[in-house]
Amino acid sequence: MKRILFIALLVAAAVASAQTGEDPPQPRNKTTRPVIRGTQYAVVSMKPQSTQVAENILRAGGNAFDAVVAGQAVLGLVDFPMNGVGSDAVLLVYDAKTKKVYSINAEGTAPKLATIEWYKEHNGGKIPSSDSLLSASLPGAVDAWYTLLDRWGTMTFAQVLQPAIDLAEKGFPLSDSLARAISTTRKIRKYPTTAKLFHLDQGDPQPGEIWRNPDLAATLRKLVEAEKAASGEGRAAALKAARDRFYKGDIARAMGDFSEKNGGLYRYEDFASYTAKVEEPVSIDYKGYGIYKNASSTQGPAELIALNLLAGYNLKAMGLNSPDYIHTSVEAIKLAMADRDTYLGDTDFIKIPFAGLLSPEYAAERRKLIDPQHASSEFRPGVPPGTDAEAKARPRDFQVRGEADHTGDTSYIAVSDAQHNMVSFEPSLHSAFGTGVVMGDLGFIFTCRGDYYSLVKGHANALEPGKRPRSTLQSTLVMKDGQPLMVMGSPGGDDQVMRTMQTLLNVIEFDMNIQQAIEAPRWNTTSFPSSPFPHVMRPAAMNVEERIPADVRDALIKRGHKLTVAGPWVMGSNGAIMFDLKHGTVMAGADPRVDAYALAW
């Protein structure tokens, strides 16, 4: 009787709610998607097929490193405008065996023929923005695969690439977004090899249409063939043979020949001399949490600079997305991005004064520049302790007029396993369809990261042969009390550090679960030089999602922010994995703004 009465009351409440037009009461932690929880492992990526494949590898006995390679190989196929075999990449790794965090720098290097003088003499002193082989950067993703499998993995290329090969040969149904991307991207119609791969002579593709890439399947099979041929020499030699076929064998020769015949500057020797690098990450302590970022050829440390500034405020007392909170965060990002543009780059070519940049003392001095009531429209880099004379004399390279893309296009996948290994893998073509040029009959496009270089000599990111561009690619790995806690990342060009920082602060400062942290309304600023050429800064400009309340937006405008209101669910593509250290479980969150999906077991 009591149960019947309880149900009757629920029905009556629902009817009353419908009659008044009010929404029924929702739990405090309600999200559009559930937090995905498991006891063994978790995967999140920007596409469901990629997440499924990585989870299948874990189910089959592979570890996080095996799974992330398989997942990203498929991600490059099903998220082809954003990443692929031609991608560059940065990765963060937690190795449970050594209990250490590692950075993998798989950014591409500039061609030996690429100089500032060449672009001034032959291309009007400009790098084409996100178009043509003159904006290309060398693909590092395959070497990232090799590094993961050789150093930490347990499986072979044959095992981890088979799902991608099968999918490339048999095809998959195009999503609405993929069909629309092919139909609306103009640059891919200029290049015959690209038009051929995407069947552009047959009209616009339709959602649900099966799309195949047999050329890519053939390229991946070549890696497997090389591995098999060398298998008698042991696993390590076989993996190396597969890797070398791409960078030193017939695939490299095909890439070099195609580049030379089609106006590019890459040659065989550029691929043969390339290697991804395993490096030490940089980190700070933020209120008891160890926050790790890639150190070289990335904007990632800018988030650490901003977090050091914000550590001096009581953000929780300000309140999530209050005028004070957003204003203070935006002003901190502006200062951090000014330092990004001045000091960050390829550490093989420049010295970055990390000890000074990431010191609490430097943050305390820089914090004085944040006016609590007025938005800055200036470019204000600092001079951290330990800065050498060369860095102090670096020229600036930006303009405040013109068009430049602060957002860009990228993809993301993260995996954790039962041993608590964690991998955060951010592969990218930088802009949709990268250079726009399919490399002959290889089935993939190069990233166009080459348009990030500065053509001003002496700049931290100045173009030099063999130098890696300072990429927007980055993600975050968090440690707590000596244990791995979180990995997170998001596509989004220059906006990436703001997306991961907001997700992180939503967890640490505002006690959100990982899905809430991803779904919360967002803001960004473009009041700093954009990464792509011609490096445009929009003074005092910022953007908010429509879900930020109108009174907050009005208060920001009164402080001098040039505010643009975006749609309610457009500023994010976040994915994250987080361990529940109290219960010994794992959680994953995926952004409902895009096609991201998470799985756990």
Which 3 state secondary structure label does DSSP give 380?
coil
Query: pLDDT digits over 350-384, tens only?
Result: 999 999 999 999 999 999 999 999 999 999 999 99
Task: Report CA 91 to chain centroid distance, whole Å.
Answer: 9
Mean pLDDT for 534-556 is 97
Per-residue pLDDT, 401? 84
Look at residue 409 in the predicted model and tell me its pLDDT: 77
Cα separation, 454 vs 120, in Å, equals: 12
Domain extents in the chain: 37-171+212-281+400-600
What is the amino acid identity at position 249? G
- What pLDDT, on a 0 to 100 scale, did the predictor assign at position 25? 45
Residue 445 CB neighbour total at 10 angstroms: 28
Q: For residue 407, name the pLDDT band (cuts at 50, 70, 90).
A: confident
Rounded Cα distance, 465 and 568, in Å: 43
Indicate whether 276 pLDDT > 70.
Answer: yes
Q: Tell me which of 14-23, 85-94, 396-405, 409-418 is least confident.
A: 14-23
Coil vs helix vs strand at 303:
helix
Per-residue pLDDT at 5: 32
Within a 10 A sphere around the Cβ of 305, how many other Cβ atoms? 27
Percent of the chain surpassing pLDDT 90: 93
Q: 26-40, 188-202, 406-420: lowest mean pLDDT where? A: 26-40
Q: Does domain 37-171+212-281+400-600 have CATH number 1.20.810.10?
A: no
184: pLDDT strictly greater than 50: yes
Please report the pLDDT score of residue 406 as a whole number: 67
pLDDT the model gives residue 244: 98
Encode pLDDT of 194-220 as tens digits.
999 999 999 999 999 999 999 999 999
**Identity of residue 46:** M
Find residue 487's DSSP bridge partners: 477, 577
Give the number of other Cβ atoms within 10 Å of residue 235's Cβ: 16
pLDDT of residue 81: 97
For the chain, give the percent of residues with pLDDT over 70: 95
CA distance 471 to 265: 20
What pLDDT sits at residue 28? Answer: 61
Chain centre to alpha carbon of residue 366: 27
* Exposed e or buried b per residue across 378-417, where buried means at least 16 C-beta atoms within 10 angstroms of its C-beta: ebebbebeebeeebeebebbbeeeeebbbbbbbbbbbbbb
Give the closest residue to 493 by CA, choosing from 441, 568, 564, 571: 571
| Element holding 190 (H helix, E strand) | none
486-497 average pLDDT score = 97
β-pairing, 483-489 vs 523-525, is: unpaired
Kindly give the pairing relationship between strand 210-211 and strand 172-173: antiparallel
Radius of gyration of the chain (CA): 24
pLDDT greater than 50 at residue 17 = no
| pLDDT bucket at 403, cuts 50 / 70 / 90 | confident
157-170 and 48-59 helices cross at what angle (nearest 10)? 140
> pLDDT tens digits for 319-328?
999 999 999 9
Average pLDDT over residues 105-116: 98
Q: What average pLDDT score do residues 103-110 get?
A: 98
pLDDT beyond 90 at 27 = no
Q: Which residues contact 1 (CB under 8 A, 6 or more apart)?
A: none
* CB-based burial label for 40 (10 Å; 0-12, 13-18, 19+): middle
Backbone φ and ψ of 597, nearest 5°: -140, 145
DSSP code of 575? Answer: E
How many other CB atoms sit within 10 Å of the CB of residue 479?
18
pLDDT surpassing 80 at residue 9: no
pLDDT of 223 > 70? The answer is: yes
For 408: left if phi > 0, alpha if psi spans -120 to 50, otherwise beta; the answer is: left
The mean predicted confidence, pLDDT, of the chain is: 94
Q: Tell me the per-residue pLDDT of 430-473, one tens digit each, with 9 for 90 and over.
A: 999 999 999 999 999 999 999 999 999 999 999 999 999 999 99
At position 339, the amino acid (one-letter code) is D
